[in-house]
Amino acid sequence: MRARFIHSIHDIPSSLWNQLCGVDYPFLRHEFFTALEDSKSTTRATGWEPHHLLVEDESDGKEDNKILLVMPLFLKHHSYGEYVFDWSWADAYQRHGEDYYPKLLNAIPFTPATGPRWGLIEAAKNDEALSHSILAFAFEAIEKEAKVNNFSSSHYLFTNKASDPYFKSTSYSKRTGCQYHWLNDDYSSFEDFLSRFNSRKRKNLKKERQKVSEQNIQLVIKESSSITDEDWQSFYLFYHMTYFKRSGRQGYLSESFFPLLTTLLHEHLMMVQSVKEGEVIAAALYFKDSRTLYGRYWGCKEEYDQLHFEACYYQGIEYAIKNKLQKFDPGAQGEHKIQRGFTPTETFSYHWINHPQFNEAIERFVRTEEKEIKEYIKLASERLPFKSVDP
């Protein structure tokens, strides 16, 4: 086997990448990385420098080697847009006169959604020994790349359960986090979902939805290629206004990124527009696959009472129920989601640290943190709004 690092998603044909990664999960598709790269959202200048890994089979001796694995990788010059926060690690490096950046990152840019983080040749998907052999070679190649180039570390963020066995054979530090996911318990309607709430929580949620209606705001769902250039223009304005309000910074994604989605990934898109007196005043953008709805971006012209909850949560729940999706992942953070029926859920990331002493310190940190996160999830789950079920 041979490892090769490429510096653009265009260095591999989309058909070959998607053959290994599949086309259901939107964030691992060649087209998603194309939209990011072609819109200049992932470049060295933005701190997201493409450095994707290909593992090739050289055994047949042919010039065009068969690709066994593809893995999106980025050379990171900061920690923005990752949602697994390691700023304290970077600070510790700086205090000791060491460089934390650049680092290698296997993640979906600006997207804290759990899912697959690489694509394997079909034969390896049904051959445990072969898949483990390929992944072990890939991890070794990434470590070697880091050591040769003096990169501090490599990180694998929001990995799914199917990835866990491959990391168990490594010495990487496993880090636990928490998000809030809505799970479809075979609900037939939003009212059926609400019927599982206790009385007080149900009334509170209905009042929130009623307040939106009382402000004469209508919610309009647009899907796929029905999202127009005009829709994207207004959405981009809302998106940036919201980022400025929160942090005084521009959003991570450039203006050209969003229209590219209509061309490249239209079947994965859903937008909820908020309309008042014929004018679009806010919008929420979702992605979807065959099982999961992903709430990704939100923006508004001005604040309206409870509109964020309606556009970003309740419309998503209604859509998931109607389309028989199993899960709704509304994005990172937000304890306020618990009382609205979103279950505290563990997330995972894995970290390889080149510096031995820092590696030991970080391993101790994540073990302590894991205990705290698990205890938090246990306590937070007791605050869910659902009626108690007698054993």
Concatenated DSSP letters for 191-203? HHHHHTB-HHHHH
pTM reported for the whole predicted model:
0.94
Burial of 98 per CB tally in 10 Å (0-12, 13-18, 19+): middle
> Over 90: is that where the pLDDT of 250 sits?
no
CB burial readout 48-82, b (16+ within 10 A) else e: bbbbbbbbeeeeeeeeebebbbbbbbbbbeebebb
- Could you give the count of Cα atoms lying within 13 Å of 260 in the half-sphere of its Cβ? 17
Residue 76 has what pLDDT?
97
| Vertex 166: Cα angle to 68 and 119 (nearest 5) | 30
Partners of 6 in beta bridges:
52
Alpha carbon distances (Å) from 103 to 30, 118, 131, 189, 237: 23, 18, 25, 46, 32
* Lowest model confidence (mean pLDDT) among 224-238, 285-299, 358-372: 224-238
Q: Tell me: the pLDDT tens digits for 314-349?
A: 999 999 999 999 999 999 888 999 999 999 999 999
> Over 50: is that where the pLDDT of 390 sits?
no
% of the chain beyond a pLDDT of 90: 89
Q: List, in order of start, the domains of the chain with CATH numbers.
A: 2-178+345-380 (3.40.630.30), 185-325 (3.40.630.30)
CA–CA dist 227, 258 (Å, integer): 10
Instruction: State the average pLDDT over residues 107-125.
Output: 96
CA–CA dist 165, 24 (Å, integer): 22
> Over 70: is that where the pLDDT of 367 sits?
yes
Q: Tell me: the pLDDT tens digits for 174-194?
A: 999 999 999 999 999 999 999
CA–CA dist 119, 52 (Å, integer): 12
CA–CA dist 24, 288 (Å, integer): 9
Cβ(139)–Cβ(131) below 8 Å = no
Locate all alpha helices (DSSP H) within the chain, ordered by sequence. 14-21, 30-38, 87-95, 122-125, 128-149, 164-168, 190-195, 199-214, 229-247, 257-265, 307-309, 315-322, 356-381
Instruction: State the average pLDDT over residues 209-220.
Output: 96
> Over 50: is that where the pLDDT of 374 sits?
yes
More confident residue, 273 or 241: 273
CA–CA dist 227, 297 (Å, integer): 15
Residue 40 has what pLDDT?
96
Band of pLDDT at residue 242, cut at 50, 70 and 90: confident
Q: Tell me: the pLDDT tens digits for 5-47?
A: 999 999 999 999 999 999 999 999 999 999 999 999 999 999 9
Residue 391 has what pLDDT?
43
391: helix, coil or strand?
coil
Residue 224 has what pLDDT?
86
The residues near 389 (Cβ < 8 Å, ≥ 6 apart) are: none
